[in-house]
Amino acid sequence: MSIYFPQSPAEWLPIIVPLAAMLIGLAYFLAPTAMLRLIGLTGSQRHPHATGEARASFAGFPFGLGLSSILFGQPLLLMVLGVAFALAAFGKAVHVIADGARMMLVLIRVVLVVVLAVVALFQTGFEPPQFVAPASGAGWAIAVVAAVTAAFGLVCLALPGQALRLLRLERAADRPAAHGELRGLVAGFHLATGLSVLAYGGIFLHLALGICWAAAAFGRMIHMLSDGANDGYNWLMLVANLAMAAVPLAIVFGAI
């Protein structure tokens, strides 16, 4: 079995944005403390080990959605990635304007997510949403998972301070505006994935939803094993992450 690498710019173009999303996810997974320090976040005083939360909540959806786009090669998944980066750009703009986060690093990251959104959506365009009520119990089960996913993204966008407390994180003392960091990638990817499943449906989006939550669950398991976070909170969150992954994956593969 040989591994095929794209040979031309035309072949590379559809995977540039998915690869970028996966690299962002990998960075949060492999170096959670350093990545959170970069954006001005840290573990709370009672839970300093909570920086490892980045392995789950920050890494899972960028990595999972990027991986799904590459594995399945569906234009719709690339479009969802573009929407995720566009929503992240919107959240970052709110972060800059409303939270006063005007550091050069923040502005550079705004430009980066805008560029990634434009590159993805330039290739796919934007398909108008088609919200249709599910026709079966299995469809409703996936819709509930998607709605919870989108709701978490909405909380991160509208109430980032409360979302930070839920994740047991806090802003660094020298970064008073950093609480708004959740408005960016975390909000954008959860919102885009959840709303897209509700708007378009289909087996590939259902698979992507399950893969994203499975990646988050895997990140949480490593957090618990490696970061001294083997506590009741993380066991509860792990069960929730696994359940959110299991529902769409089991339905797609006919297990339930």
CB–CB of 221/177 below 8 Å? no
Q: Which residue has the tokens 């769409």?
A: 248
Q: Each residue of 167-184: pLDDT tens digit?
A: 999 999 889 899 999 999
Note whether 72 and 79 are within 8 A (CB).
no
Share of the chain above pLDDT 70, in %: 96
Mean pLDDT of 188-197: 98
**The two structure tokens encoding residue 170:** 């806090």
Over residues 191-212, the mean pLDDT reads: 97
pLDDT in tens, 32-42: 999 999 999 99
Mean pLDDT across 180-198: 97
Residue 54 phi/psi, 5-degree rounding, is -60, -25
CA distance 82 to 122: 9
Question: What is the spatial distance between Cα 66 and Cα 85, in angstroms, rounded to a whole number?
Answer: 11
Amino acid at 224: M
Dist CA 43 CA 164 (whole Å): 10
47-106 confidence digits (pLDDT tens): 999 999 999 999 999 999 999 999 999 999 999 999 999 999 999 999 999 999 989 999
Assign 1 a pLDDT band (cuts: 50, 70, 90). very low
- With a pLDDT cut of 90, the percent of the chain lying above it is 87
- DSSP letter for each residue of 100-151: ----HHHHHHHHHHHHHHHHHHHHH--PPP-----SSHHHHHHHHHHHHHHH
24-27: list long-range contacts, CB under 8 Å, 24+ apart.
24/62, 24/63, 24/185, 25/58, 25/59, 25/60, 25/61, 25/62, 25/63, 25/64, 25/66, 25/215, 26/59, 26/63, 27/59
